[in-house]
Amino acid sequence: MGELNWAGNYEYRAQRIARPGTIDELRDLVTSARSVRALGSRHSFNDLADDDELLVSTAGLPAGIRIDEEARTVAVGGGVRYGDLARELQEAGWALHNLASLPHISVAGAIATATHGSGDRNGNLATAVAGLRILTASGETVELRRGDEGFDGAVVSLGALGVVTEVTLDIRPTFDARQRLFGGVPWEAVTGRFDEITSAAYSVSLFTTWDEPALDLAWIKELDGVEATVGDDFFGAPALTEARHMIPAMDVRNTTQQLGVPGPWSERLAHFRFEFTPSNGAEIQSEYLVPRPRAVEAIEAVRALGPLIAPVLQVSEIRTAAADALWMSSAYETDVVGLHFTWLRDQEGVEAVLPALEQALLPLGARPHWGKLYLDRDGVVPTLYPRLGDFRALTERFDPERRFRNAFLTRLLG
């Protein structure tokens, strides 16, 4: 068996995987290869990061974490994981605006795919990017800052421009947060009062298997020091008094602390502890980001498919993200609601149900998460990005020989 992704559902086709320890080593590898792709923490479930010749891992490149307190930014090596960055920021008294569910993912990889946390007013992780340093196929280092021509196209880059060796992120003073759980949210409340539900806290996540009489779990994150707007009842769901994993069979010790105990943002905004190593081979993930005006319609459409998807589903999460101006972001020019699916690791079974799911969601404008499993057999996804032509032109400018163009990007860009 060859090299696998984190979940074990995809085997890389590349002839070799190199692990450079310096930028000079990386430059030599990139400039001497016929084709090449950057590989982060391997948390993609499809062929986005793959290549048929060379993959260069960014994990061993310098971390280079530098905080600029006056500018309120931090510069960080692209291969650094969010959990490591969060710890250093917290120790220095600073914070990011949000984190994804897993802190184990690399900064550059998460940004390149528009990975997100949750919260009506929180943009995805890419919206914090203030600057990029990109090593191109020619060996040149290109630096872009917010406001530069092409910057909004280069942030969510899908790895098409080169290897992102450094990212500069906006930061804010550190803050504490707390998490509380509520069980059994009535579906009537979810569909009838959706905006009230998702705006009730800094971040709101709803967990379901779609075939249950009431939505199983609401997981809210509140800023400590801010008066709570939610009491012991969350739209008809009682507060839980015991910690819960969103998947009942899983060990709750792997999740970040719950039950309203305040703690640093770095230990509360992610769902899972950084000390916990996610189990390889246990799941496949898909996600579809629906324009917020179509959210209730999409939720009702997926509920109708509950009996079909339940046999291969572990759990789904419903959460929100704010609109942005990044060309290839799933939240480009629209607030979105993410419908996330954590499947059993049953590739054949999952691929059997995805056509029905996509037939229900893609016509509503749902954009699949770039790094998760989707099919798009009718080629709908490219039509959902108004700036796709501009992005294609940007990739040609950065990579005229198309050395970073792999099968995934060929399907998308032609």
Considering the domain architecture, whether residues 72 and 209 belong to the same structural domain is answered as no
Considering the domain architecture, whether residues 131 and 234 belong to the same structural domain is answered as no
Considering the domain architecture, whether residues 295 and 327 belong to the same structural domain is answered as yes
Number of helices followed by number of strands (H, E) in the chain? 11, 20
State the average pLDDT over residues 200-226: 95
Question: What burial letters (b/e) apply to 365-389, b meaning 16+ CB within 10 Å?
Answer: bbbbbbbbbbbbeeebbeebbebbe
State the average pLDDT over residues 371-390: 97
Segments forming the whole domain that contains residue 113 = 66-174
CA distance 345 to 205: 23
**pLDDT tens per residue, range 104-113:** 999 999 999 9
**pLDDT tens per residue, range 160-181:** 999 999 999 999 999 999 999 9
Considering the domain architecture, whether residues 152 and 187 belong to the same structural domain is answered as no
Q: What is the pLDDT of residue 404?
A: 98
Final residue before a domain boundary, out of 154, 174, 194? 174
- Of 13-22, 279-288, 292-301, 337-346, minimum mean pLDDT range: 279-288
Domain membership of residue 321 (yes or no) is yes
Q: What is the pLDDT of residue 339?
A: 98
SS3 at position 285: strand
Look-up: residue for tokens 């009489």? 213
CA distance 394 to 397: 5
**pLDDT tens per residue, range 106-156:** 999 999 999 999 999 999 999 999 999 999 999 999 999 999 999 999 999
Q: What is the pLDDT of residue 276?
A: 83
Considering the domain architecture, whether residues 139 and 113 belong to the same structural domain is answered as yes
Q: Are 158 and 112 in contact (CB under 8 A)?
A: yes
Final residue before a domain boundary, out of 174, 189, 224? 174
Structure tokens at 401: 């020989």
**pLDDT tens per residue, range 396-405:** 999 999 999 9
pLDDT band, very low/low/confident/very high, at 279 (cuts 50, 70, 90): low
